[in-house]
Amino acid sequence: MNQSDVKSFLADFKANMSAFGIIYANRDKNIQTLADLEITPKFRDKVLSELIVDDYCQGPLTNDQFGVSPMWVFGVNVKNQEVYIKITILPTKSFCISFHISEHPLKYPFKTI
């Protein structure tokens, strides 16, 4: 995996999100994170639209949950909490499988300090 692969995926994800919207997995820990961090769904959309290569953690991963497109993992800091983000692209929408406070420290292979 290299930075241009991540950049290309993010460009496709954001274009799809902009054109067709995004759907979120209705998981308890995703919903709880919005409450715990006191952020709105609109703010969550903004976080996803601002993902950059430095935020990359893993991927592409085999998608055995939601369609066949690979899943990608990113991490961002929201209100001093590391947030784990797992996303993919469905045929007609961008899809966020996970958006929750990270359960373990994430590794960022392209992040510069």
Q: Where are the domains of the chain?
A: 3-101
Per-residue pLDDT for 88 more than 90?
yes
* H/E segment holding residue 55: none
Contact between residue 41 and residue 30 where contact means Cβ atoms under 8 Å apart = no
Of 3.60.21.10, 3.30.2310.40, 3.30.750.24, 3.40.50.970, which CATH number belongs to 3-101? 3.30.2310.40
User: Which has the minimum average pLDDT: 28-32, 74-78, 90-94?
Assistant: 90-94
How far apart are alpha carbons 67 and 50 in whole angstroms?
24
* H/E segment holding residue 11: helix 3-20
- pLDDT given for residue 42 in this prediction: 94
- pLDDT given for residue 1 in this prediction: 81
Q: Is the peptide bond before 60 cis (omega within 30 degrees of 0)?
A: yes
Per-residue pLDDT for 36 more than 90?
yes
User: How buried is residue 29: exposed, middle or buried, by Cβ count under 10 Å (0-12/13-18/19+)?
Assistant: middle
- pLDDT given for residue 68 in this prediction: 75
- pLDDT given for residue 23 in this prediction: 93
Q: What is the model's pTM?
A: 0.94
